[in-house]
């Protein structure tokens, strides 16, 4: 979690620098749209889709002590990932004008200069998808070996590359410098893991694994997840296409707002899910279903403990937070309004996003990708439908329409989380659901009290400097929530106290 926090802070620092230099400009809209392609290629082949299929099979070999089969599998998958991503990058390079015009950013295609800019930015960043593919597989290997710190730090290396792009490249190359920073960041993302991989690697093979049943099993598990990721990426593409037809800077608004919500989600849920998945996989491989059920229930409560107050806090403090972080240089008060509006509506879905992260990984640990992927596909298709309808509704009532895109995502994700929770209970024959629900209502009550205290404080501090307002809200809100939870004798806090006490004693 500490590593995730560091990586998210690095990403926040990068976005602050980019906001100061480019503001919520149409050029930054073009960069964000172009970056969507390499991000899609990575996620389709080597992101969550590969990790969720590869880790369970690879970990099952490790827990049985069959290192030879494990590394034979890792080698074959690595070779296949590199080949497929390279071919896809070449095809994308050739057809990039059509991709930008008809799918990615039709709103930018009407301006010849912006159209060419988006194409060029897209082509520069394509090599990053290949580098990320190799690095993504390394992350899965290291996590399976219970190595979490180095993989968790790799996103920070990506942000370092982009920061270098802003500082060193952009003063001479403009927005192109940011694109080259993406490529450098992808290389650093890969480079950081190489020493750790060399310590674990046994024997690398240059075979593609044709005829290997284990490779076939990974592909079999990956296909449903691949469809799910494709639908999620389709939703991002739809949002990008819709946002490029709205007010200039709307795409920056939803990108920055979504990134801040994801920052909280990564710290709270991704860190827990990353550490949980190999444990659940091992427990399931050994047939310890009761332990799987117990581990998952505790993880869900722990995530709710943090995500509920984080959601309330981000909604209430959205505008002062954006003002404090970004409003300087070319990032104006109008830019703040664009991002804060998106953040408010995205934050309503933070709890749903956090639960989905945990529940989906739980299914993958049980070698079941079909159920979460099917539910995810339905949820994201609903998201697409809601994106059109809610953005139109927001526009009709005089609200900034990109807020409707954010709300659509939140509603669809919350429904996805509820459905996943229902089916995982069936799969495990129970999940101590009453205990989880009791915790949720406790956290909701404490968060409501926290929100009332923050709003009361904001009414008193009306015209004060934004840093003082924000700091006062964080301290009073966090402090009041902690006090209420302590008074409730929360078991998660007691467990954390015992762990820390044991660590310091050691």
Q: How many CB atoms lie within 10 A of CB 299?
A: 21
What is the share, in percent, of the chain residues with pLDDT greater than 70? 97
Query: Is residue 264 situated within a structural domain?
Result: no
Q: What is the pLDDT of residues 125-157, one digit of tens each?
A: 999 989 988 888 888 888 888 888 888 888 889
Would you call 502 exposed, middle or buried from its count of C-beta atoms within 10 A (0-12, 13-18, 19+)?
exposed
Tell me what pLDDT residue 496 has.
79
pLDDT category at 43 given cuts 50, 70, 90 is low
Q: What is the pLDDT of residues 385-394, one digit of tens each?
A: 999 999 999 9
Q: Minimal CA–CA distance to 238: which of 125, 103, 392, 332? A: 103
Distances (CA, A) of 26 to 95, 96, 131, 248, 417: 23, 19, 28, 6, 35
Query: Is residue 13 situated within a structural domain?
Result: yes
What contacts 278, CB < 8 A, 6 or more positions away?
A: 55, 59, 143, 144, 146
Distances (CA, A) of 450 to 426, 453, 456, 459, 500: 35, 5, 10, 15, 26
pLDDT category at 291 given cuts 50, 70, 90 is confident
Query: Is residue 258 situated within a structural domain?
Result: no
- Dist CA 84 CA 463 (whole Å): 56
Q: What is the pLDDT of residues 182-211, one digit of tens each?
A: 999 999 999 999 999 888 776 777 888 787
pLDDT category at 282 given cuts 50, 70, 90 is confident
Q: What is the pLDDT of residues 478-489, one digit of tens each?
A: 999 999 998 988
The mean per-residue pLDDT over the stretch 382-409 comes to 94
Tell me what pLDDT residue 214 has.
82
| Structure token pair of residue 228 | 């799910």
Q: Which residues of 19-42 are buried (b: 16+ CB within 10 A; e: fewer)?
A: bebbbbbbbbbbbbbbbbbbbbbb
- Dist CA 88 CA 359 (whole Å): 31
Q: What is the pLDDT of residues 71-128, one digit of tens each?
A: 888 888 889 888 988 998 999 999 999 998 888 888 888 888 999 999 999 999 999 9
- Dist CA 343 CA 258 (whole Å): 6
Q: How many CA atoms lie within 13 A of 425 on its CB side?
A: 13
| Structure token pair of residue 416 | 């996805």
Query: Is residue 208 situated within a structural domain?
Result: yes
Query: Is residue 149 situated within a structural domain?
Result: yes
Q: What is the pLDDT of residues 10-42, one digit of tens each?
A: 888 998 999 889 988 888 888 988 888 877 776
Number of structural domains in the chain: 1
174 φψ region: left (φ > 0), alpha (ψ -120 to 50), beta (else): left
- 48 pLDDT more than 60: no
- 47 pLDDT more than 60: no
Tell me what pLDDT residue 484 has.
92
What contacts 413, CB < 8 A, 6 or more positions away?
A: 349, 352, 353, 356, 379, 383
Tell me what pLDDT residue 52 has.
67
Q: What is the pLDDT of residues 160-182, one digit of tens each?
A: 999 999 999 999 999 999 999 99
Which residues span the domain enclosing 186?
1-220
Tell me what pLDDT residue 192 has.
93
Mean of the per-residue pLDDT values for the chain?
Answer: 87
Query: Is residue 245 situated within a structural domain?
Result: no
Query: Is residue 364 situated within a structural domain?
Result: no
Task: Give the residue with greater pLDDT, 444 vs 376.
Answer: 444
Q: How many CB atoms lie within 10 A of CB 290?
A: 12
Tell me what pLDDT residue 423 has.
93
Task: Give the residue with greater pLDDT, 94 vs 376.
Answer: 94
Query: Is residue 300 situated within a structural domain?
Result: no
Q: What is the pLDDT of residues 210-267, one digit of tens each?
A: 878 888 888 887 777 677 777 777 888 888 888 888 888 888 899 899 989 988 898 8
């Amino acid at each position: 979690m500490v590593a995730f926090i560091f990586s998210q802070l690095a990403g926040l620092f990068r976005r602050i620098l980019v906001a100061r230099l480019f503001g919520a400009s149409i050029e930054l809209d073009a960069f964000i749209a172009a970056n969507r392609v390499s991000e899609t290629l990575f996620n389709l082949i080597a992101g969550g889709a590969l990790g969720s299929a590869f880790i369970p099979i690879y970990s099952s070999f490790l827990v049985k002590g069959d290192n030879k089969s494990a590394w034979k599998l890792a080698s074959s998958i690595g070779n296949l990932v590199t080949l497929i991503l390279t071919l896809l990058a070449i095809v994308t390079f050739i057809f990039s004008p059509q991709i930008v015009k008809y799918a990615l950013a039709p709103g930018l295609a009407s301006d010849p200069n912006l159209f060419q800019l988006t194409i060029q930015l897209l082509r520069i960043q394509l090599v990053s998808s290949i580098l990320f593919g190799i690095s993504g597989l390394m992350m899965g290997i290291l996590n399976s070996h219970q190595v979490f710190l180095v993989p968790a730090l790799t996103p920070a290396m990506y942000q370092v590359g982009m920061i270098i792009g802003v500082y060193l490249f952009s003063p001479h190359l403009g927005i192109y410098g940011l694109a080259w920073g993406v490529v450098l960041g992808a290389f650093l993302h890969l480079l950081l893991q190489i020493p750790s991989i060399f310590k674990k690697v046994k024997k690398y093979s240059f075979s593609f694994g044709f005829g290997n049943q284990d490779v076939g099993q990974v592909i079999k598990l990956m296909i449903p997840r691949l469809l799910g990721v494709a639908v999620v990426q389709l939703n991002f593409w739809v949002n990008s296409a819709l946002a490029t037809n709205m007010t200039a800077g709307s795409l920056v608004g939803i990108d920055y707002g979504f990134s801040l919500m994801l920052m909280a989600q990564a710290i709270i849920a991704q860190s827990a899910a990353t550490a949980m998945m190999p444990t659940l996989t091992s427990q399931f491989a050994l047939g310890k279903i009761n332990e799987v059920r117990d581990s998952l229930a505790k993880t869900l409560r722990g995530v709710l403990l943090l995500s509920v107050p984080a959601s309330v806090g981000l909604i209430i403090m959205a505008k002062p937070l954006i003002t404090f972080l970004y409003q300087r240089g070319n990032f104006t008060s109008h830019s703040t309004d664009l991002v804060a509006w998106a953040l408010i509506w995205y934050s309503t879905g933070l709890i749903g996003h956090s639960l989905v992260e945990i529940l989906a990984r739980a299914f993958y640990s049980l070698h079941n990708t079909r159920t979460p992927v099917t539910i995810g596909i339905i949820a994201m298709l609903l998201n697409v439908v809601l994106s059109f309808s809610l953005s139109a509704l927001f526009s009709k009532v005089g609200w900034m329409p990109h807020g409707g895109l954010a709300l659509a995502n939140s509603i669809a994700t919350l429904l996805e989380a509820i459905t996943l929770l229902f089916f995982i209970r069936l799969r495990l024959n129970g999940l101590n659901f009453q205990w989880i629900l009791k915790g949720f209502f406790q956290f909701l009550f404490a968060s409501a009290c926290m929100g009332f205290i923050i709003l009361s404080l904001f009414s008193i501090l009306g015209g004060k400097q934004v840093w003082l307002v924000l700091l006062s809200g964080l301290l009073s809100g966090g402090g009041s929530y902690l006090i209420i939870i302590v008074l409730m004798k929360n078991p998660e806090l007691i467990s954390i106290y015992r762990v820390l006490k044991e660590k310091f004693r050691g």
